[in-house]
């Protein structure tokens, strides 16, 4: 799901917006329509096969831990139609730690699960070491749909995605 924005027009996760509400759930900041409109337009372009990444004013730093933000930045680097394993992301986060692939993979998975904007910060592109689809906050069926959408465009266009960059 796409979220709303703060007064600067940046997309904010729902938890951040809740902090701007009173006890009745009424939001007391001036919300600008620009970011949600842009997000909806870009999502439509993505599903039409005309957009391969999102260019939106996303503010996640206030939402996650330092580690989660590091993982989310890594997720944003995975190209359209390509996948990475949880262990691969762990090794990218700690390249000097030979054990990172095993010890941090589970933490990477938890950070993916906490991703508040899963289409925009593409955690659906992270798979198990054996290539199986595992875990996704919106359900494995949605993860499979998103990956198949990207793979189908690559096949139709003649471009090749890969599991390793």
Give, as one character, the DSSP assignment of residue 104.
T
Annotated catalytic residue within 123, 127, 146, 154: 123
Is 112 assigned a catalytic role? no
Residues carrying an active site annotation: 123
């Amino acid at each position: 799901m796409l979220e709303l924005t703060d007064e600067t027009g940046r997309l904010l996760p729902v938890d951040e917006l809740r902090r701007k509400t009173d006890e009745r759930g009424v939001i007391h900041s001036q919300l600008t329509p620009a970011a949600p409109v842009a997000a909806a337009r870009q999502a439509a372009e993505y599903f039409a096969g005309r957009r391969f990444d999102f260019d939106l004013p996303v503010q996640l730093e206030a939402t996650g831990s330092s580690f989660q933000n590091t993982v989310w930045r890594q997720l944003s680097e995975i190209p359209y139609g390509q996948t990475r394993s949880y262990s691969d992301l762990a090794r990218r986060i700690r390249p000097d730690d030979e054990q990172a692939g095993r010890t941090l993979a589970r933490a990477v998975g938890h950070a993916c699960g906490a991703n508040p904007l899963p289409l925009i910060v593409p955690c659906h592109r992270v798979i198990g070491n054996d290539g199986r689809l595992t875990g996704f906050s919106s359900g494995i069926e949605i993860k499979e749909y998103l990956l198949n959408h990207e793979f189908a465009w690559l096949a139709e266009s003649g471009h090749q995605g890969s599991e390793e960059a």
